[in-house]
Chain A
């Protein structure tokens, strides 16, 4: 039994002390509280307090320039205004659109890619994984700026490649003949989604790869003995065994994509683009607070967004729990 075990301590103190009512505090009784206190102090000051204040703020109308006394109680008006606001609805639609179009392929590609890297790459696996992972660690601002160059209409590399491919036989059915103006509302979301997909597909691949390394090898050996091909092994062993990681990775994607801010913000120059086609809900919150100076409504937007994220995470949890594979 260890010295730091509280039951041992209690026993000792009652035995060796004259007044057993109050045991003496040893350094190791209070030290852990001191050691963890920085986290909780910082979280209280810069986490809990701001959040409580933001709830309070969301029920008020307030222009911060006018000082604290200019705060006026409006009840749930900020929430009803936001929910019926066309621009908010549009930004939620954009967010959901990008979340699905950028999010789903991440997983549909990352899982088979990770499987292939896991089974068919030996020595070179780490290098290839590194290439796919690289976008995840680089500055999203630098990345978004580079992509605005690549996506520019007249001289952008992406348009040049696409139209070149459009000249070839057969491929002309898929690829455009004309240069695409990616700034137009019907294309903005595609552009943003591609950048987001590009940035996070490697991260998901790495997550799935790490999970695959924990699947016992004898499962595959047994399957091979029974004559199962690689494809069957993938469907009947890898995919079911990956369910817990799928739950985790998809949760991260939901949380991340619903608060998408930096990529669309840079790509559309902070405006949301023509017709606000690329404006996400987090951008709507930012603009409401810092462009319109309406902190009350912006706080309401933030909390509505938070509720949406919490609900979707919960639904995701239910779906995985129902399929019976979540541990």
Chain B
């Protein structure tokens, strides 16, 4: 059976340390201003403490990737293992994918005049290595899972604050953050 690779973002373990985002830059040397993985703070409406719960997001490597469907240059392919790869050599820089991706993943690089995004470190995967961000995560909050075998009962596909788009089928899975008992100073 073929694999279906996905990121599992365990927000209960995530400390928002930005290591994953920097590990990606370290590997791909994106120019200043271009970030493939970003660690977003969860809004206070969802988690009651500002900048204390985080959602580390890159490409969601969707089941039905709108970037691929809308690309006039066939610059996107979906591999058998689920990875949605962007091919810069085919990309014509039309920016269609920037509009069709509901998660705002592809970024336009004004220097190369092409789109770019996380392709799940497919070269590293093929070499038997973990994606750079996953290898870098110091707390085990970001892992690579195979959805064919992944059966964590606490993991969900659409946490609060993440676009609810079942028809697109984003592969990323989430575990929600927890809250400590808080004893504030009596002032």
A and B co-occur in one complex: no
